[in-house]
Structure 1
Amino acid sequence: MTTKERIGVVVSNKMQKTVVVAVENRAPSRKYGKTVVTTKRYKVHDENNDCNEGDRVRIRETRPLSKQKRWEVASIIESASGQKAPEPISSETEQS
């Protein structure tokens, strides 16, 4: 049996050894034929807590690890570390 793999983006890493990965699927609608984007979120095992929000990762199906975890991080394709966090706007600049 082949192992399923998906590519998605980490949307949450607030749990210990677990990340939430959103995987997009683009398919034409059955009735109208317009391309529809559906997003599915997977709970994924991250043993070393390496993943951060915004990282693009490859996930692999595995045996059940908990009630909702059936996937593990196979590799990090692209890191989001190059992005800058937005700076908060101070009240002084709003008054000017």
Structure 2
Amino acid sequence: MERGKLKTRTGVVVGNKMDKTAVVEVQRTKSHGRYKKQIRVSRRFKVHDERNECNIGDKVVIIESRPHSKTKRWRLGKVVSQAAGA
């Protein structure tokens, strides 16, 4: 059975205190319904990080996956850039 295209998001790691889990904040812009002003909206995702390779401040790509736990529905795709000073 062929899977559809999996969703991907790019964000910044804001937490990595849990074992094999990182918290990634993804920012996007949305348009206000009435006034059409561009508003910055952020959302935090818990991400499965099997090798604990994420550090706070890293820019990462996350990929939609099967549920790993009650709140984890994403896995780490790749680390795009390391945080400065890491």
Alignment of 1:55 with 2:71, yes or no, is no
Q: What is the percentage of aligned positions where both structures have the same residue? A: 46
TM-score, length of structure 2 as denominator length: 0.93
Q: 1:83: how far off?
A: 3.0
Corresponding pairs, count: 83
SS of residue in 1 equivalent to 2:26? strand
Q: 1:25: how far off?
A: 1.0
Q: Which residue of 1 aligns with 2:79?
A: 76
Q: Which residue of 1 aligns with 2:10?
A: 7
Alignment of 1:65 with 2:52, yes or no, is no
Q: Output the aligned Cα RMSD.
A: 1.1
Q: Which amino acid aligns with 1:7?
A: T
Q: Which amino acid aligns with 2:67?
A: P
- Larger of the two Rg values belongs to structure: 1
TM-score, length of structure 1 as denominator length: 0.83
Q: 1:4: how far off?
A: 0.3
Alignment of 1:41 with 2:44, yes or no, is yes
Relative to its length, the structure with more strand (as a share) is: 2
Q: Which residue of 1 aligns with 2:20?
A: 17
Q: Which amino acid aligns with 1:18?
A: T
Q: Distance in 1 between matches of 2:85 and 2:52?
A: 19
Q: Unpaired segments of 5 or more residues in structure 2?
A: none
